[in-house]
Structure 1
Amino acid sequence: MPLHVPPAPAPALRSVSTALGSPTAVREARTPSLRTAQGPASPELPLPLHVLNHVTETTGGPSRTRLTGWRFLVRCGDRAVAAADTMLTPDGWAFSHFFEGPYVASTERALRQAEALPKTYQPRLLSVPELYMLTLWLHGDHTADASSGHPAADDILIPLAPAPPGIAAHRLHRVADLLPVLALRLTPTRAVLLA
């Protein structure tokens, strides 16, 4: 089924397009693949980037997330060569930075996996900073406001590579199955019971 990619806020798209058109912004970016790309580069596949603030250990309550930006894959020709992040400032959405690395190709791969699923999803990115983990979050309500919400038990998470040790990249997980595992990893080390 096709993914229902939410539209990015117009100022976010404009800020990335402006940065891509700026020789200074591209030249100063730490993205050799973007600087050496042949042909025009365009921002595509805007994905809302949410950060997991709180993980519940059970599926009884929602885990809290917050929108921190929009990420665009920067395509040149037939492949993504970099990504561009935007952030919310007091003046609205603004370009943050370009980057490259394994998450760019991994995001493309996860999106292809998602397109092969029998149900329509709204793709989002979900970051778990404490675990240095990024996932493609496939939200089941593809008509929802992409800037809000929380992972529902039946939503799908696809960990991107590189994933934390013990969590396989590019394996599909129901939120109800993966979040308890993440909650255990995020639990502070308990004091030794026998003192």
Structure 2
Amino acid sequence: MPLRIPSAPATAEQSVRTALHPGTARTPVPAHLLGEPPRLVLPLPLHRLTPVSSLTEPPRAGLTGWRFLLERDGRTVGAAETAFTADGWEFSHFLEGPFIASTERAVRLAEALPTPYQPRLLSIPELYMLTLWLHADLEAEPTAGDPLPDDLLVPLAPAPPGIAADRPVRTDALLPLVTSRVAPLGLAS
């Protein structure tokens, strides 16, 4: 089923477009992105799992930005991320590396699932882990909300040891494992 891709705020998108122009950018544009600007595709809200304070509380997530894949000639050539500041949405940085190709694989896998989802990204910095978060509530505001038990998480490669990448797992099965790994020492016992 098709995914319900959310629309990014226009100012977030514009901040990336501005950053792709060497004369206006505060951050150097990577050499492979110079020339004809790449297209911004697959805008995904990026959420961060909040630090664990109790093993019995449900997981919480907070919006940290928007990530866009950058495409040229039908091929993904990188990604760009924005962050929300006191002045609104601003370009944060360009990305390269394995999470980009893994994001594409996870999205293709999600599109083949029988149930439609709203895609998001969920970062778990304590484990250096990023997942494609397939939110079951299609009408939800993409910038708000927490992982629901019947949502799916697709860990992106490289995933931490003991967690399979590129395989959808229900939130209520994966997050307790993740939570136990990032719980403060006093909570783990």
| Separation of aligned partners in 2, 1:77 and 1:115 | 22
Aligned residue type for 1:41: P
The alignment covers a number of residue pairs equal to 187
Q: Aligned pair in 2 of structure 1 residues 70, 120: CA closer, same or farther (>3 Å)?
A: same
State TM-score, norm by structure 1: 0.88
Alignment partner, residue 47 of structure 1? 44
| Separation of aligned partners in 2, 1:23 and 1:189 | 49
Residue 39 of structure 1 and its aligned partner are, at CA, apart by 4.6
| Separation of aligned partners in 2, 1:92 and 1:26 | 16
Alignment partner, residue 170 of structure 1? 166
| Separation of aligned partners in 2, 1:51 and 1:27 | 24
Tell me the alpha carbon deviations over residues 132-186 of structure 1, each in whole angstroms, 9 at most, x when there is no partner: 0000000001111011000000000000011111111101100000011011111
Unaligned runs of 5+ in 1: none
Q: Is the 8 A contact 1:54 1:65 kept in 2?
A: no
Q: Is the 8 A contact 2:19 2:27 kept in 1?
A: no
Residue 182 in 1 paired to residue 181 in 2? Answer: no
Q: Aligned pair in 2 of structure 1 residues 183, 27: CA closer, same or farther (>3 Å)?
A: closer
Rg bigger for which structure? Answer: 1
| Separation of aligned partners in 2, 1:24 and 1:102 | 28
State TM-score, norm by structure 2: 0.91
- Aligned-residue Cα RMSD (Å) equals 2.2
Alignment partner, residue 8 of structure 1? 8
